[in-house]
Structures are given as structure tokens and as C-alpha cells.
A and B are shown apart, each in its own frame.
Chain A
């Protein structure tokens, strides 16, 4: 059914820590691995060994440069997957009822056997969270590893999304946002977790933790003064060498 539930019992989702993410793409690889071998159609690749490779991914890591008004630019790695929005526009546009949001835990899923592959849900999603698989002709999206988190055949520590389980930096956290005492609710409250494109009214469940402010101290290291370039003033032996070499034909002045 493409009517959204008025509320969900749980709000399962992710917290992604932009301060901690090192941009290693391990979450991308583990996501592709798990979701190719498990729930639904595999995530296909096209021309994987050519110069024009492309493929279906449920999670992608962008990198952004942010230039503050003063000081050095910052590089921020930015993993992006389905945000399991409370007001998911991808669900309501679906003509077949293939897309739905679960009442019990808020996960947004696609019933692939009902999907006609029209792509309208991908149009409606502002985050680029849905990709039409070129081999299967059905819409693929993050399932929050619904086949891991409730899977009693897996050891307890593996009952979380593959991306969270694999992240070596601890930048991804999984939990229930409906519970104010959960790890994700506490992190969101303490670190000012934010929504992406809040102006579009999608009410995302996943939250992003902004990078912590940079250290403003000018003394970056006690060794720093000893590491300054030696020949900056052009004195002594280095200064003589600089002049001598510059005097050769073709030498730079």
C-alpha cells in the first residue's frame, strides 16, 4: 500500500557521523556484498571491466570541500543511502503499491515482484536513494538490512546493517529513533543531528552528525617550529648553493 502509516511503532534508522567518517568506502562494499547475495534481486554491474563501468549501489560516499569564511578548507566524506523518511514521497507516487513503509519499524521497502520499473519513486526522492537495476528492471534501495537485523541465524553482534557492522571508524550507528534513550537518539541530541534538505518536508529518520569545530590553536604541534623550511631566508650554504645553481644556463632566478 502506498498510503503512509500515520505513525510507526519503531523508527529504525542510522546516525552517520560526518566528523568520524574517513571516506574508506568499506560501507559501500559491504552493502553491495550483502545485498547482492541476499534479499531481492542482486545489485548488478554493467561493463564492470571496461572504462565505462556502472552499477547499482544502495549506499554511496561523496566527498565535499567546505570553505569557511576564514581559514583552511575542510574535506568531509559524506555517505548517503535511504533516509527512511517519515513522509516518504517515493512511497506515495508508486502506482502499483510495490513501495511501502512498514508500520512496525518504519523501514521503507520495495516489493520487487510488484515493481513495474517506472522509476517514478526515484524521481520523487530528493536524495538519490533509489536506483533502477539495469539487469532486473526493478527499483533497488536500502532495506536497512531487514534480513540481518531480525535474523536469529546470525550471531547477535551481526544483527545490524552491514554498513554499520563493517565501518572501521565507528561513523555509523543503528537504532530506534522512537526510543529517546536509544544510542541513536542520544547521539542525535548530544551532537545536533541534522536532516538533509529539511525544506522538502520529507522528515528523514536518518540523522547526520555535523563535523565538530576545528581546533583554533595556531600551535598545531610542539615540533612544528623545528620543521619550518630551512632555506626560506637563503642564508649560509643553502643560500650559496641556490645562487650557484641559479647562475648556470637555464637556472631559475
Chain B
């Protein structure tokens, strides 16, 4: 899959933002006044900034309101609704903390639930794709939710919880690599089933339909990620998990917390890039490529 920068930025930062909102909603921490203001601004910058970035790759972003209409079948529509509802609830909850010093816990819990649902619906956009066997697995929601909650806890200053959740996120990531590497082969979809010619013999793509490239090849066939997959996995895992976990274990100051968060974000960006770049869409089989 083509790793579009807008989608990588969107999933990474909205995941972090909603993760932070989740912990704020649970009252962990429950700051008031200026401190609360800083926390909520940070969370909204990440969540809303991420959502805005996701509109950059649309052909007609001005029609975005229509995208809230098909919640009965579409995970993308559900995600949009969940995100907006959550942001509205948490804006009220945040306003209470910032301006009135009041903690409306029920609103916070609802907002936390909404944050979890939003990240879950984001992950289902990918996990639902039968056409991308690597994604169609429980480890995809596992990665998205654990990254979001772990990164959110890190930003919320919940040291112990962050430590545990980053370990869980790393475990989900490794599981998705180990399982994901065999998903295409295990899916049973091959160039033979794609063409229906397997009963005759071994099929090979002989001549493509055109001399140049096309939308499908640009969108679905990406080989650079796979070429450097192992290196990128190591870099992503070190930056995303090992460095922040080490900082958390050593002890948290403002500086180490900042470094831990910066390293985590860089790592998640690399891992998210790989999440797309490594994923094989079955349409590549028609072109004799993966």
C-alpha cells in the first residue's frame, strides 16, 4: 500500500490525541486551570490536527459532511461520527476543568469511552480489508488501541501505566509482524485464483495492460518498505518502545518525559509508515507484483 504522509500523520497523531483524551477523561490526571488548559490544547492539537491531515488526500474535502451519513455500513463514517462526538464531549469536560475548576466525571468517562471507540473504528477501517490480508487480523485493532493508550499515558504522565502499556503495544506489534508476514500466503489468494487459470498450470504475468503506471499501481504496489523492512522494524521498535521504556524505568523529569514522548512519536511514525508500506494488496497479483 502507498504510505500516504497524510494518513500516517493522521493515524499517529489522532491516535496519540485520543489516547491522551482517554486518560484525561478518566481523571488521570485531573488538573484544573492553566495546567488543564495545556493538557487539553495538546490533546486537541494532536487529535484535530490528525483528523485535518486525513482530509488532505481527499479528492473533494469540501463534501466532508456527507461522510457522516453511512454509519450503518462504513467504518470510515463511524469513525468520523465517533471522533466528532468525543471531541464535543471532551470540550465540555475540559471547559469545566479549565474555567470552572469543576470535574464532571460522568462526562469524562463518556469522553474516555468515546476516545476508545474512535481509535477502535480507525483500526477497523484497515482491519476490515479482505483485500489486504496483512491487516485483516485482530492484531490491527491491537496495535492501534495499545499504541494510542500507551502513547496517551506517556503524554498524560501516567508513568507506571505507560510502562506497562508500551510493553503491551510492543507485544502487539511483534505479534502483527510474526503473523502478518504469512497472512498473504495463508489467505489462499494467488495469481491463480485471481485469474481463475490455475487449473491449467502455473500463471505468470506476461504483459501488463499498459506501458506506464496507473492509479492502482501507485496506490497498492509499494516495494521500498519491504526492501528495508527489518531495519525499519528495529529502528521503529527502539524509538517507539525501547527508548521511552528506558526513560520511564530510570525516572521521569520534565526533560526525560519530553525525550521519551519525542522518541515514541518518531518511532510510531516509522512503524506506521511500515504498516502501510509493507501491506500487500491482492490487486498486485494481477500485475505479478506484491
Contacts and interface: CB of A to CB of B under 8 A. Distances in A.
Nearest to A78: B195
Interface stretch (A132-140, A144-152, A224-232, A237-245): A132-140
Given A54-B213, A60-B209, A76 B66 contact: no
Contacts of B253: none
Contacts of B130: 89, 124, 126, 200-201
A220 interface: no
A33 interface: no
A117 B212 contact: no
Nearest to A4: B73
A119 B74 CA distance: 13
A235 interface: no
Interface in B162-211: 187-189, 191, 193-197, 199-211
B232 interface: no
Interface string B63-79: 11011111011111100
A122 B282 CA distance: 12
A116 B67 contact: yes
Given A96-B69, A132-B215, A200-B130, A64 B195 contact: yes
A25 to B, nearest CB: 8
Nearest to A127: B283
Contacts of B220: 123, 128
Interface in A138-162: 138-139
Interface string B143-160: 000000000000000000
B236 to A, nearest CB: 23
A173 B67 CA distance: 37
B216 A123 contact: no
Contacts, number: 198
A131 B209 CA distance: 14
B209 A120 contact: no
Nearest to A193: B196
Contacts of A80: 209, 286
A95 B203 contact: no
A142 to B, nearest CB: 14
A208 B193 contact: no
Interface stretch (A6-14, A65-73, A163-171, A176-184): A65-73
Contacts of A134: 215
A74 B213 CA distance: 26
A174 interface: no
A75 interface: yes
Interface in A97-139: 97-98, 114-120, 122-128, 131-134, 136-139
Contact of B206 (A65, A139, A196): A65
A67 B202 contact: yes
B129 A123 contact: yes
Nearest to B64: A116
B128 interface: yes
A28 B189 contact: no
B73 A132 contact: no
B131 A119 contact: no
B69 A54 contact: no
B106 interface: no
Contact of B73 (A69, A73, A92, A200): A92
Given A123-B131, A126-B282, A75 B206 contact: yes
B80 interface: yes
Contact of A96 (B67, B125, B128, B132): B67
Contact of A117 (B58, B77, B201, B219): B58
B8 to A, nearest CB: 15
A175 interface: no
Interface in A11-47: 18, 25, 28
B281 interface: yes
A136 B197 CA distance: 36
Contacts of B58: 116-118, 137
Contacts of B209: 25, 28, 57, 60-62, 80
A131 B196 contact: no
Contacts of B74: 2, 92-95, 120
A246 B262 CA distance: 75
B283 A126 contact: yes
Interface of A: 1-3, 18, 25, 28, 52-57, 60-69, 73-76, 78, 80, 89, 91-98, 114-120, 122-128, 131-134, 136-139, 194-201, 208, 210-211
